[in-house]
């Protein structure tokens, strides 16, 4: 069983874990939510605030790309940068 305590991990890392746990390395937003609530029970399916943060994180960081039909994946180039400890937000322009 997974801990019900707030995980000491960033949303970026949680989303990365979720996507990388998928056999084809891509998930829909609802699948990301489901994975998070299963692995980190601290996040209640009924609570909206963390879901807003997940959506914001997906759209703010270059390491995530939105593919056709609302499927999210990790950008290969950005994944390599992430592995080196470098994360960049998307340009706001």
**For the chain, domain boundaries:** 11-83
Contact 64, 27 (CB under 8 A): no
- Token digits of residue 10: 């960033």
Work out the number of other CB atoms within 10 angstroms of the CB of residue 2. 11
By residue count, the chain amounts to 93
Q: What is the pLDDT at residue 82?
A: 53
Q: What is the pLDDT at residue 13?
A: 94
Q: Which CATH class is domain 11-83?
A: mainly alpha
For residue 19, is pLDDT > 50?
Answer: yes
For residue 38, is pLDDT > 70?
Answer: yes
Work out the number of other CB atoms within 10 angstroms of the CB of residue 29. 15
For residue 55, is pLDDT > 90?
Answer: yes
| 54-70: average pLDDT | 93
Q: What is the mean pLDDT of the chain?
A: 86
């Amino acid at each position: 069983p997974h801990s019900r305590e707030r995980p000491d991990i960033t949303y970026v890392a949680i989303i990365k874990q979720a996507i990388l746990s998928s056999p084809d390395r891509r998930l829909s937003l609802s699948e990301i939510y489901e994975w998070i609530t299963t692995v980190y029970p601290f996040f209640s399916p009924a609570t909206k605030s963390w879901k807003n943060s997940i959506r914001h994180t997906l759209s703010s960081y270059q390491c995530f790309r939105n593919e056709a039909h609302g499927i999210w994946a990790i950008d290969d180039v950005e994944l390599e940068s992430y592995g080196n400890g470098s994360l960049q937000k998307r340009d706001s322009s």
